Amino acid sequence: MNRRVRRKVVKYRSSRGKEESCDDEEGLEEVVGLMPERSVDWTSLPHDTVIALFGLLDYRDRAHLASVCRTWRRLGASPCLWKSLDIRAHSLDYTKATYLASKCSKLQRLRFRGAIAASAIVGLKAVELKDLSGDNCRDLTDASLSMLAARHGAVESLQLGPDCDRITSDAIRVVALCCPLLRRLRLMGIREVDGDAIGALVRQCPNLSDLGLLDCAIIDEAALPLATNLRYLSVAGLRNIQWTTAAQMLSKLPALVALDVSRTEITPSAANRLLAMDNLKVLCALNCSNLEDAGGSVFYSPKKKVLFARFTDIMKGLAMLALKASADRKEGSTLVWSQQGWRQDSNIPGLDSFWLKQGTATLLSLIKSSQEDVQERAATALATFVVTDDVNATVDPARAEAVMHGGGIGLLLDLAKSCREGVQSEAAKAIANLSVNAEVAKSVALEGGISILAALARSPNRWVAEEAAGGLWNLSVGEEHKGAIAEAGGIKALVELVFKWPHGGDGVLERAAGALANLAADDKCSMEVALAGGVKALVTLARFSKHEGVQEQAARALANLAAHGDSNGNNAAVGQEAGALEALVQLTCSLNEGVRQEAAGALWNLSFDDRNREAIAAAGGVEALVALAQSCSTGSHGLQERAAGALWGLSVSEANSIAIGREGGVAPLITLAYSEAEDVHETAAGALWNLAFNSGNAWRIVEEGGVRALVHLCSSSGSKMARFMAALALAYMFDGRMDSVAAGATFCENVSKSGGLDGARRLAMRHIESFIQAFSDQQALVAASTSWASAALMAVADSARIQEAGHLRCSGSEIGRFVTMLKNGSPVLRACASFAILQFTMPGGRHAVHHAGLLHKAGAGRVLRAVAAAATVPATAPLQAKVFARIVLRNLEQCPADARSEGFFDGRMT
């Protein structure tokens, strides 16, 4: 395909003083004064300008720019560009670290994620490293931490967490010995910190002024008074501490300015003792139940002290600290500590009022902080506190809307445009979580959030792309947002994510597939998904992903793509993609119910295509779906509906119908007919209707007790469609074709209990007649029986019409059977046949024209006229057959003339 370039029309002023246009290359060169053979020598830019450009880019873009030439490669490695490095979103091993070592000689700040990256950091040879921060350090051991400390003796700030439960006091002593310049140490989730470790920190690190031992099980509080230089201390989440003793020890710290005791069992007396300290200015005591139960027992001077608690004005406290910081720079560090250490536990019972009154405003104020770390933490907190149930993705509407009304959407979207990938990721996560709420999703869309998320979904950073894809997933739930996502390039970006991270990115793949599934439910968007390569991408996930969440969303997306068979070619395209049907059949055997349900749903939709239907059977679909139907009786209604629906779709084919009966598919469908869900009633009845077309299957239904199940549906289901198809199935079973099979069979116990075959027939006829009566207005029937007046016939048609029946599509053999049934000796069956044909030819029905053509081909006109002219007794089944036949004749007259000659066989019913 040739590349097409759209040239920009340039306006310029000619020598005659008139403004003229130029839209070709020669004119453009003339305007700007460049000769065609000349070009800009970008390598001639001053080095400081190039370095400044490098400084505006992330690591990947720097690498791309550095590949332009040797000069830029050398400038791209300038130490001034590599003073700070955030590798949380990247996998770092020793080989990669060694490659980066030449650039990291002046590295001062490093953020990483995981124990593997921690072990590889030594390969960077960043001997001047001063600030080291690690996330997700659950597997970090004493040996790894000791090695980090030994190789980075210049470290002044070390932060690790959460859940560092493999780190012991031994490693803390090594850190103290190897890092004498340490000023800040924050460790989360350590089991025990003994007195020797605290003593080592005090002796070896004289500059240590900020110590955080959060969520630790045990701390030797008796050793804390030794840390006389401490200004900031956090023991949030500390368990197993005697606060009477601890408060006495802490009050001996002469330099202590701020203390965080959040999520502890601190008592009011201990809090009062701490607040009485002359030097202490800030006490953070959020989520401390003992204080909250006795808030009036805590005494302090709000003009001199700041207490952060649920019963105090947090915004006022932060404002006071900000005022002091603006007047005295030394106070700025206290404000920063308060912002960075301020955290929340949003799902603790009873906090709703706090979050609505103060928590939301506080977090939004932190979003505006000049400190990027504070912004990132605040975005993380917002993303967390609106979610009340992670498993079911439940968002508290009041909290989400409080963020929206507080201007939080605009703040987060601005934050998402940050050049720092960590900030982008957390902002996108917060936007994604908030967008679960429909009102907030509208606000996100109105403020340009869809374009921002679509752009972030193209990020080379997997964590950023993952959160952005999650945002598009949640936004795509709303029908009004799907078109905007497509216009913003979101569909293409989501498809590209599948190919960008085919392995090791289960989170991003699940979110991308989930968003594509929602978008594929829209007809127009489904075509764009296919054009963007979405079919191949989703089939790839269904075939090769081992992650159940990815499998489920990929199968759901394929199901939605295949649901538009009448309006586009996606159904056939999915079936023709290599390995698609085999993969979906295999997924119906998954241990995960959601995967089984979506795979069965996809096969159900795909079975509407003739070639797909046979290919599914060839791939083992009959056996797999029968096994699924047999095992899903205790599953969810969604799983039951799709299992029966897939069998319904496959049974359109006579060969598949016979195979389903032979594999034991009748019994589980009969069981599902007793389900409590109307949707399951419909699919089970539809499948049994198709199966009953075959005489052998009809007898199997009788033997398995299916007559009573169909009678149950016909008489008591809340679904008109289920009642209709159950009646048709019973009509098939007792129109005489099954008699030859029953004649040579031995009656089983189920048949004998029903009074034999004759008893089952009488039961079926009685309920078929009752069903037809339920859709018959007797007064209108009598009036229409004596007149062909259009108004009289229309009144009967309106009372008899089942709207959803217009979606059913019958084959030539099916229509032919109903025409034959019109000549049956049973008046009930004649009425049932005319009622069915009436539904299939109703004007406006999806397949009315198709059915008219088949009736013409079957010579139904003569039979219908005979039924319509027959003598009848009022209020009897023949009367209904007569009037319904008249209405069908009228319907056929209203069909286009060319439709009457139509007629083709394309499978019995879809």
Tens of pLDDT, residues 139-172: 889 999 999 999 999 999 999 988 888 999 999 9
Question: What confidence tens digit (pLDDT) does each residue in 881-896 have?
Answer: 989 999 999 999 887 6
Per-residue CA distances from 6 to 3, 23, 494, 666, 668 (Å) = 10, 10, 26, 62, 62
Average pLDDT, the chain: 85
What mean pLDDT comes out for the span 616-642? Answer: 96
What mean pLDDT comes out for the span 19-35? Answer: 39
What mean pLDDT comes out for the span 346-354? Answer: 56
Q: Quick one: 667 and 747 in the same domain?
A: yes
What mean pLDDT comes out for the span 391-413? Answer: 89
Q: CA 471 to CA 451: how far, in whole Å?
A: 11
Asked if residues 562 and 598 have their Cβ atoms less than 8 Å apart, the reply is no
For residue 482, tell me if it sits in a domain: no
The single-letter code of the amino acid at 751 is V
Reply yes or no on whether the pLDDT at 853 is more than 50. yes
Q: Quick one: 728 and 841 in the same domain?
A: no
Up-side HSE of residue 304: CA atoms within 13 Å toward CB?
9
Q: Quick one: 731 and 833 in the same domain?
A: no
Q: Quick one: 637 and 747 in the same domain?
A: yes
What are the beta bridge partners of residue 84? Answer: 109
Up-side HSE of residue 593: CA atoms within 13 Å toward CB?
12
Reply yes or no on whether the pLDDT at 788 is more than 80. no
* pLDDT at site 649: 95
Q: Quick one: 713 and 784 in the same domain?
A: no
Find the range with the poorest average confidence among 299-308, 321-330, 378-387, 786-795.
321-330
Up-side HSE of residue 331: CA atoms within 13 Å toward CB?
15
Cis peptide before 162 (omega within 30 of 0): yes
Question: What confidence tens digit (pLDDT) does each residue in 565-602 have?
Answer: 767 789 999 999 999 999 999 999 999 999 999 999 99
Say which CATH number the domain at 736 has: 1.25.10.10
Final residue of a domain: which of 25, 53, 81? 81
Of 555 and 313, more confident: 555
Say which CATH number the domain at 74 has: 1.20.1280
For residue 819, tell me if it sits in a domain: yes
Q: Quick one: 642 and 728 in the same domain?
A: yes
Reply yes or no on whether the pLDDT at 344 is more than 60. no
DSSP 8-class letter at 903: -
Q: Quick one: 697 and 803 in the same domain?
A: no
What mean pLDDT comes out for the span 54-82? Answer: 79
Asked if residues 697 and 691 have their Cβ atoms less than 8 Å apart, the reply is yes
The token pair that represents 279 in the structure block: 């030097």
Of 428 and 354, more confident: 428
* pLDDT at site 11: 37
For residue 198, tell me if it sits in a domain: no
Reply yes or no on whether the pLDDT at 498 is more than 80. yes
For residue 63, tell me if it sits in a domain: yes
* pLDDT at site 600: 97
* pLDDT at site 206: 94
For residue 721, tell me if it sits in a domain: yes
Final residue of a domain: which of 81, 107, 142? 81
* pLDDT at site 191: 86
Q: CA 383 to CA 400: how far, in whole Å?
A: 10
What mean pLDDT comes out for the span 705-731? Answer: 95
Q: CA 516 to CA 511: how far, in whole Å?
A: 9
* pLDDT at site 88: 82
Reply yes or no on whether the pLDDT at 744 is more than 70. no
Q: Which residues of 261-299 are buried (b: 16+ CB within 10 A; e: fewer)?
A: bbbbbbbbebbebbbebeebbbbbbbbbebbbeeeeebe
Q: Quick one: 833 and 887 in the same domain?
A: yes
Q: Quick one: 723 and 784 in the same domain?
A: no
Question: What confidence tens digit (pLDDT) does each residue in 664-695 have?
Answer: 999 999 999 999 999 999 999 999 999 999 99
For residue 184, tell me if it sits in a domain: no
Per-residue CA distances from 258 to 214, 284, 368 (Å) = 15, 8, 22
Tally of domains within the chain? 3
Read off φ and ψ for residue 608, nearest 5 degrees. -70, -20
Up-side HSE of residue 659: CA atoms within 13 Å toward CB?
22
How many residues are present in the chain?
910
Confidence band for 23, pLDDT divided at 50, 70 and 90:
very low
Q: Quick one: 868 and 786 in the same domain?
A: yes
Domain that includes residue 70, residue range: 42-81
749's CB contacts (< 8 A; 6+ apart) are none
Reply yes or no on whether the pLDDT at 327 is more than 80. no
pTM of the predicted protein model: 0.79
Find the range with the poorest average confidence among 43-47, 416-420, 426-430.
43-47
**CA nearest neighbour of 873 among 881, 865, 864:** 881
Torsion over CA: 611, 614, 620, 624 (sign): positive
Confidence band for 747, pLDDT divided at 50, 70 and 90:
low
Q: CA 889 to CA 863: how far, in whole Å?
A: 10
For residue 657, tell me if it sits in a domain: yes
Q: CA 814 to CA 834: how far, in whole Å?
A: 13
Reply yes or no on whether the pLDDT at 509 is more than 70. yes
For residue 718, tell me if it sits in a domain: yes
Question: What confidence tens digit (pLDDT) does each residue in 391-400 have?
Answer: 677 888 988 9
What mean pLDDT comes out for the span 805-818? Answer: 93
User: Going by DSSP bridges, is the β-strand pair 387-389/394-395 parallel, antiparallel, or unpaired?
Assistant: antiparallel
* pLDDT at site 38: 52
Q: Quick one: 742 and 858 in the same domain?
A: no
Final residue of a domain: which of 81, 112, 132? 81
Q: Quick one: 721 and 823 in the same domain?
A: no
What mean pLDDT comes out for the span 418-444? Answer: 92
